[in-house]
């Protein structure tokens, strides 16, 4: 595996690969690899000849009071695991390489990006869209792989590809979970042992709402209430949002229609750590028996 730090070098490499018809898969990351990242690399290797993993902690997607400085970094370990999981080139640029001095261009996607994550992290998606677009431009991959855990980010990337006419296949890989259902995330390292035990409640809340949908619940507020109720049973959890929406548009109708795919979305704080997770579920064509229990406050 080669480490490439300069944009001009990755451009040379990828254009010579394209000239001999090699297919390229890009795995964009911010490093501190866990099994979720490694799954993306292995899936990329199944798809193509050449896997390029980018490792860049992108300052533009962090807000002023967020964890850019503390974001976990471990280059040595990342190098070893990228190499042993099929990466051919590790693109590891500096901030100056990705944001040349005097740069003035930003990509902004409007609409659904202003909801959910976009409320709490207003600059986040502009930063993601801009860096991913830069990576697409200098690598011109045939495939780019993203984890389902960042669900709204996946929708944003798909929108970016459509709107900017990129000829790139976006592959979404299911979330990798711990035994108690906690979604793997580089930020899980911030959790204290006690918080780590409590964090499983997020998956439990998603499962509870999924169960309710399977049994026939299609009223958005009620579906949300199932999640809120479970999350509230853990006093250390502070809910940012626990919501359901159309899985493609993130629209929030009063009731979802039979056959509609919906996404259950949670963002919650445990101490100072903000965790996100999601689950996709279809509204059944023939609703079953509804569960009845007391729903508080919604």
Q: What is the binding site for ligand PAF (CB under 6 A)?
A: 28-30, 58, 61, 128, 131-132, 150, 153
**Beta strands across the sheet bearing 24-29:** 2-4, 89-91, 50-55, 24-29, 143-147, 169-173
What would the 3-class secondary structure string for 140-156 be? CCCEEEEECCCHHHHHH
Residues β-bridged to residue 24? 50
**290: burial class by Cβ within 10 Å (0-12, 13-18, 19+)?**
exposed
CB of 97 to ligand PAF, least distance (A): 14
By the 8 A CB rule, do 49 and 104 touch? Answer: no
- DSSP character string of 30-84: -S---HHHHHHHHHHHHH-SEEEEEE---GGGS-TTSSTTTS---HHHHHHHHHH
Q: Which of 34, 37, 124, 261 is catalytic?
A: 37
Of 120, 189, 118, 105, the C-alpha closest to 153 is 118
Q: Which is nearer to ligand PAF, 60 or 191 (CB)?
A: 60
Q: Which is nearer to ligand PAF, 150 or 208 (CB)?
A: 150
Q: Which is nearer to ligand PAF, 97 or 224 (CB)?
A: 97
The residue with tokens 């035990």 is: 197
Output the CA–CA distances (angstroms, integers) from residue 253 to 89, 153, 212, 249, in the order listed. Answer: 45, 21, 17, 11
CB of 297 to ligand PAF, least distance (A): 33
Helix axes 7-19, 124-139, angle to 10 degrees: 50
Residue 37 is among the residues annotated as catalytic for this protein: yes
CB of 290 to ligand PAF, least distance (A): 37
Q: Which is nearer to ligand PAF, 29 or 113 (CB)?
A: 29
Q: Which is nearer to ligand PAF, 109 or 209 (CB)?
A: 109
User: Which residues are the active-site residues?
Assistant: 37
């Amino acid at each position: 595996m080669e480490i490439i730090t300069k944009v001009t070098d990755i451009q040379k490499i990828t254009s010579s690969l394209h000239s001999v018809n090699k297919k390229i898969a890009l795995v964009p990351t911010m490093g501190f690899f866990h099994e979720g990242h490694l799954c993306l690399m292995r899936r990329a290797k199944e798809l193509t000849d050449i896997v390029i993993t980018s490792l860049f902690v992108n300052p533009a997607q962090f807000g002023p009071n967020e964890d850019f400085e503390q974001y976990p970094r471990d280059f040595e370990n990342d190098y070893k695991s990228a190499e042993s999981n099929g990466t051919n080139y590790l693109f590891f640029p500096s901030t100056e390489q990705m944001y040349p001095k005097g740069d003035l261009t930003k990509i902004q996607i409007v609409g659904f990006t202003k909801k959910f994550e976009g409320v709490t992290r207003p600059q986040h998606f502009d930063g993601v869209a801009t860096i991913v677009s830069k990576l697409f431009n200098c690598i011109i991959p045939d495939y780019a792989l993203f984890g389902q855990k960042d669900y709204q980010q996946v929708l944003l990337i798909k929108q970016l590809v459509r709107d900017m006419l990129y000829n790139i296949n976006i592959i979404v890989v299911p979330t990798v979970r711990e035994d108690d259902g906690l979604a793997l995330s580089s930020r899980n390292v911030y959790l204290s042992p006690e918080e780590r035990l409590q964090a499983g409640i997020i998956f439990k809340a998603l499962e509870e709402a999924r169960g309710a949908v399977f049994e026939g619940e299609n009223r958005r507020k009620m579906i949300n209430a199932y999640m809120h109720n479970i999350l509230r049973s853990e006093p250390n959890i502070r809910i940012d949002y626990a919501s359901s929406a159309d899985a493609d548009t993130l629209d929030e109708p009063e009731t979802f229609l039979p056959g509609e795919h919906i996404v259950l979305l949670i963002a919650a704080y445990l101490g100072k750590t903000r965790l996100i997770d999601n689950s996709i579920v279809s509204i059944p064509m023939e609703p079953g028996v509804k569960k009845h229990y007391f729903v508080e406050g919604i």
